[in-house]
Amino acid sequence: MQRHSITRALNFPEYKITDLRLNQDGYWIQVEAYKRKPFVCSKCDEVHGGSINSVKKVSVDDLKLFGKRVRLIVVKRRMRCPKDGSLHVERVAWLKPRARVTNRFAQDVYRLTSITTNTEAGWYLGIDDERVYRIDLETLEDLAAKRLKPTPAAKNMSVDEVAWRKYYRYLTNVIDVDLRRVIWNSMGRTAEVLDKFYDSIGKEACAEIKSVALDGAMTYISSTSKKAPNALIVYDKFHVVQKLNTTVDTVRKLELRKARKEDRTDLIEMMDCKQRFILLKKKANLTESQKGRLDRLCALNDSIYKAMILKEDFLQVYMQQDEVSAEAALNEWFAQAAASGIQAFVALAEKFRNKARYILNWFKKRISSAISEGINNKIKRLKRMAYGYRDVRYFLLKIHQHCGLLSPRFSP
Ligand SMILES: [Zn+2]
């Protein structure tokens, strides 16, 4: 193959190959600009005429060739800049200043880190974790400046909190329900945090928000009612069901503790963690043997039985045809929960009663809980993949990369 053809295959416009070697490490390819290529100053970004002072060789990684690693030796010309009188190298379009990899290599890093861990991506590309992290972070920051500024607004949105570390550190995600993607996020979960989102899209865009689904937190509710006056606030079904499940689990833990004190081996076995899921699933979704186990447990323990009934009955509220019958069913449930004597459910009913309006708003705007659930699961996976993110700024960007507008699969 002639050098000319390889130059074309390499695809760096206005650059030619001046040397090419193959050894055990892979290819070493030296490239330099054609003489006629104008000199673009890396200091002031302008084209300078005049004579070249000297050259500087930098070595960078490029995409693999025929399965082998490629190191490019880029010969950069140096010239005196008339603006500051000092020597500067030329700007190379396919290489960022001070980068140790080509832009297209950085793109590959970013595409790989959107589907796998940094360690795996690094192994595949032949670079260490630290370099993957630096390249990934820089690429995501560049993209964020293009796609997340100004803050994208949504007509129908959903607000969600995520625990990002132990000891209750939280962050807030805003999801565009129509796009099914995260469009904004920030550390914390106070009303002031969500206020920042509303302020950044501006009053006009806020007035156009039609619905906001949220997890029932008063902080989000108060921020939304203040900043998005025309939005219908919906207590997301996904989160209502989650609260019901947590409450059932609270009852289970309490009963398990009692059973241990009383040495009730039959009960302990049926209520331990492994059996937890039969209490959390909808009864209709259980297999015959799971149903049998649940029935035995309910027969043995009155509180668990009552808790299961309360949960299943609440789900009936969502089965109603319209808001009016749903309201009647909900009020009936409040009375039932209050009369149950199960402390955890008495407390939950009290909380739900204060937010009944938002629970019932679901009948006006039935936002699919699959969106919140899907994004929640992706973030959980992301947290597992990273083995703890060193800084929250990186984690926020990774959420955008895996669930938002910074995904390589998303084209604006
Ligand atoms: Zn200059």
Within 8 A by CB and 6+ apart from 260, the residues are: 268
Residue 168 — pLDDT band, cuts 50, 70, 90? low
Mean pLDDT throughout 204-219?
95
Residue 388 has pLDDT above 60, yes or no: no
CA of 43 to the centre of ligand 1 (A): 5
d(CA 133, CA 67): 23
Percent of the chain residues past pLDDT 70, beyond the cut? 97
Distance (Å, rounded) from C-alpha 230 to C-alpha 232? Answer: 7
Distance from Cα 81 to the centre of ligand 1, integer Å: 4
CA–centroid distance, 102 to ligand 1, in Å, is 23
Distance 92 CA to ligand 1 centre (A): 14
For 276-292, the pLDDT digits (tens) are 777 777 777 888 888 88
Secondary structure, 3-state, the chain? CCHHHHHHHHCCCCEEEEEEEEECCEEEEEEEECCCCCEEECCCCCEECCCCCEEEEEEEEEEEECCEEEEEEEEEEEEECCCCCCEEEECCCCCCCCCCECHHHHHHHHHHHCCCCHHHHHHHHCCCHHHHHHHHHHHHHHHHHHHCCCCCCCCEEEEEEEEEECCCEEEEEEEECCCCEEEEEEECCCHHHHHHHHHHHCHHHHHCCCEEEECCCHHHHHHHHHHCCCCEEEECHHHHHHHHHHHHHHHHHHHHHHHHHCCCHHHHHHHCHHHHHHHHCCHHHCCHHHHHHHHHHHHHCHHHHHHHHHHHHHHHHHHCCCHHHHHHHHHHHHHHHHHHCCHHHHHHHHHHHHCHHHHHHHHCCCCCHHHHHHHHHHHHHHHHHHCCCCCHHHHHHHHHHHHECCCCCCCC
pLDDT value of position 287: 85
CA distance 179 to 158: 11
In the reported structure, the alpha carbon of residue 409 is separated from the centroid of ligand 1 by a whole-number distance in angstroms of: 38
Which residue's entry shows tokens 């009188």? Answer: 85
Least confident residue range of 175-184, 271-280, 323-332: 271-280
CA 49 / ligand 1 centre spacing (Å) = 10
State the pTM of this model. Answer: 0.86
Instruction: Kindly state the tokens that stand for 161.
Output: 């909190």
CA gap 120, 403 in Å, rounded: 20
Q: Which of 116-125, 254-263, 323-332, 367-376 has the lowest mean pLDDT?
A: 367-376
**Contact status, residue 113 vs residue 124, Cβ threshold 8 Å:** no
| Residue 96 CA, ligand 1 centroid: distance in Å | 17
Question: Per-residue confidence at 392, pLDDT binned at 50, 70, 90?
Answer: confident
The pLDDT, as a whole number, for residue 334 is 97
Task: Give the per-residue pLDDT at 289.
Answer: 82
Strand order in the sheet with 156-165: 181-187, 169-176, 156-165, 211-214, 232-235
Report how far residue 189's alpha carbon sits from residue 339's, in angstroms, rounded to the nearest whole number.
34
14 CA to middle of ligand 1, Å? 20
Residue 158 pLDDT greater than 90, yes or no = yes
The pLDDT of 113-131, averaged and rounded, is 92
> Where are the chain's structural domains?
1-98, 101-147, 156-236+367-403, 238-363
pLDDT of 295 higher than 80: yes
Cα–ligand 1 centroid distance for 44 (angstroms): 4
**For 156-236+367-403, which CATH class?**
alpha beta
- The reported pLDDT for the residue numbered 298 is 80
pLDDT of 380 strictly over 90: no
pLDDT band at 163 (very low <50, low <70, confident <90, very high): confident
CA–CA distances in Å: residue 70 to residues 97, 217, 342: 19, 53, 67
Tens digits of residue pLDDT in 318-370? 999 999 999 999 999 999 999 999 999 999 999 999 999 999 999 999 887 78
The pLDDT score that the predictor gives to residue 108 is: 95
If one counts every other C-beta atom within 10 angstroms of the C-beta of residue 375, the result is 22
Cα of 147 to ligand 1 centre, how many Å? 30
Q: Confidence band (pLDDT; 50, 70, 90) for 194?
A: very high
CA distance 116 to 92: 30
- Predicted pLDDT of residue 263: 84
When pLDDT is cut at 50, 70 and 90, the band that residue 185 belongs to is very high
CA distances (Å), origin 348, targets 181, 220, 345, 371: 30, 19, 5, 24
pLDDT tops 60 at residue 1: no
For the chain, percent of residues with pLDDT exceeding 90: 71
The identity of residue 173, as a single letter, is: N
CA distance 73 to 26: 13
The lowest-confidence range among 6-15, 57-66, 147-156, 333-342 is: 6-15
Whether the bond into 150 is cis, omega within 30 of 0: yes
Q: How far apart are CA 359 and CA 111, in angstroms?
A: 40
Amino acid at 19: D
**Cα–ligand 1 centroid distance for 97 (angstroms):** 14
Q: How many residues does the chain have?
A: 412
CA of 32 to the centre of ligand 1 (A): 20
pLDDT at 387 over 80: no
How many CB atoms are located within 10 Å of the residue 250 CB?
A: 17
Q: Ligand 1 centroid vs 10 CA: distance in angstroms?
A: 28
